[in-house]
A = this chain, B = another copy of it.
Amino acid sequence: MTHVPSSNMSGFAVPEPNARPGDTPDFSHLKLDQNNLAPKPDPICEASETYGLANSLVRVLDDEGQAQGPWNPQLSPKVLREGLHLMLKTRTYDARMFKLQRQGKMSFYMKSLGEEAISVAAGMALRDEDMLFPSYRQQGLLFARGHDMVEMMNHCLSNAKDPLKGRQLPVHYTWAKGNFFSISGNLGTQFPQAVGWAMASASRAESAVTASWIGDGTTAEGDFHGACTLASVYKAPVILNVVNNQWAISSFAGIAGGNNATFAARGIGYGLATLRVDGNDFLAVYAATQWAADRGRAGHGATLIETVTYRADAHSTSDDPHRYRPKEEAAAWPLGDPIERLKAHLIALGEWDDDRHQALEEALTKEVLASYKKAESNGTLRDGPLSPIPSMFEDVFAEQPWHLRRQRQDLGV
């Protein structure tokens, strides 16, 4: 028998990231430098055939901007340019909105800088009928679905035309017509709801699948487990995406258990198909989403996808990332920038060039500014006009009960 010392505890372990402010960024633990290409099983394979992929990394775009390997979705240059356009649109929008928050035009904002491929590629790979249950960092889905930028801004400005009537923090969009669910401020709650939605679709024999997104930190919530359990038990046509951007707010993925296993590997224990994907690779995200959607549509159940990426800016307008991670960390991120990578690929294909890129950037800047002007004319949180005050008391119930009527009267509105 092994000799085991009877007491060698010096306290429990509290994992720390490789680098804190002042340290040199270090992503070696992620083992992202694997050069062998991940295989691509049939989407209607047994879940167990995907387990190797939980510790691998689905990539299409190599470091030279070439698309290769079995996961190459073989998209037309037109679709690729569309992807680039949408990612750049998302980024331009984010940058402007962030600034406007700083100028007091809205109460709050959250960017998706560096993570644009995750939402845009998924949004493009899915069908319009497919339902989306996002977190607060997939605004790219809205652009991919063609949502109106002015309406998005109306929401963020909490103005009189905010479709959410000023009731939600900025970036907590809802867009029923776009099959985009109401974003919650409570982490993870949407994950099991998405499974319920998917089951309802399946019960009517519809072909739509449902996709949901949560962050690495949020995987720790009980609702993550609830969702995986439901998805497994009922073989629901759902795509459960974990966006591993390495950080929650100030705590790194290791505080969610990410040091000891990949998040994709969580799927193995439920018998779910699992993929670990280069989240900064537009083509890989597109292909993985398509694969999972095909699987779900074919009645083969759910897929858990971990997209490996990096949150390149602050968590939200409320925080300063330089207080908990090295300033240089974003630049050192080994999977690069999703826009730069797709751009390089298009250029390598001869389907894009720097001039067109610059022109696109300028056009988008103008579009965002013009939209903002329009939205601002509908009001801002600071200066109004806002939604009518009596609407505060509406939509609590289908019909206003006596006590809310009284309260409205109490307020004198």
B236 touches A12 (CB 8 A): yes
In the complex, A396 has a CB within 8 A of chain B = no
In the complex, A358 has a CB within 8 A of chain B = no
B2 touches A42 (CB 8 A): yes
B11 touches A202 (CB 8 A): yes
Jot down 15 A-B pairs with beta carbons below 8 A, ordered by A. Answer: A2-B42, A2-B43, A12-B236, A47-B260, A220-B226, A222-B225, A229-B256, A232-B257, A233-B260, A257-B271, A260-B271, A261-B269, A261-B270, A265-B268, A265-B269
CB closest chain-B residue, reference A261: B271
**Which B residues are CB-close (under 8 A) to A269?**
261, 265-269
What 8 A-B pairs are tightest by C-beta distance, nearest first?
A: A222-B222, A260-B271, A225-B225, A7-B207, A266-B269, A261-B271, A13-B235, A12-B234
In the complex, A205 has a CB within 8 A of chain B = yes
Closest CB-CB distance, A251 to chain B, in whole Å? 10
In the complex, A224 has a CB within 8 A of chain B = yes
Q: From residue 194 to 249 of chain A, which have CB atoms closer than 8 A to chain B?
A: 198-199, 201-203, 205-207, 220-226, 228-229, 232-237
In the complex, A4 has a CB within 8 A of chain B = yes
A12 touches B270 (CB 8 A): no
Given A5-B298, A233-B254, 8 new contacts (CB under 8 A) = A4-B294, A5-B297, A7-B205, A9-B297, A12-B235, A233-B259, A261-B268, A268-B269
CB closest chain-B residue, reference A290: B1
CB closest chain-B residue, reference A192: B222
**Which B residues are CB-close (under 8 A) to A205?**
7, 9-11
The CA-CA distance from A255 to B234 in the complex, in Å, is 9
Closest CB-CB distance, A236 to chain B, in whole Å? 6
Closest CB-CB distance, A272 to chain B, in whole Å? 8
B2 touches A44 (CB 8 A): yes
A299 touches B229 (CB 8 A): no
Interface size (A, Cβ < 8 Å)? 60
Q: From residue 6 to 26 of chain A, which have CB atoms closer than 8 A to chain B?
A: 6-15
The CA-CA distance from A237 to B11 in the complex, in Å, is 10
Binding site for B on A (CB under 8 A): 2, 4-15, 42-44, 47, 198-199, 201-203, 205-207, 220-226, 228-229, 232-237, 254-257, 259-261, 265-272, 294, 297-299, 301
CB closest chain-B residue, reference A4: B294
The CA-CA distance from A269 to B263 in the complex, in Å, is 7
Closest CB-CB distance, A376 to chain B, in whole Å? 43
A7 touches B297 (CB 8 A): yes
B222 touches A7 (CB 8 A): no
The CA-CA distance from A236 to B225 in the complex, in Å, is 20
Closest CB-CB distance, A47 to chain B, in whole Å? 7
B222 touches A226 (CB 8 A): yes
**Which B residues are CB-close (under 8 A) to A7?**
205-207, 297
**Which B residues are CB-close (under 8 A) to A8?**
297-299
**Which B residues are CB-close (under 8 A) to A271?**
257, 259-261, 265
**Which B residues are CB-close (under 8 A) to A44?**
2, 4
**Which B residues are CB-close (under 8 A) to A237?**
9, 12
Closest CB-CB distance, A270 to chain B, in whole Å? 5
**Which B residues are CB-close (under 8 A) to A228?**
257
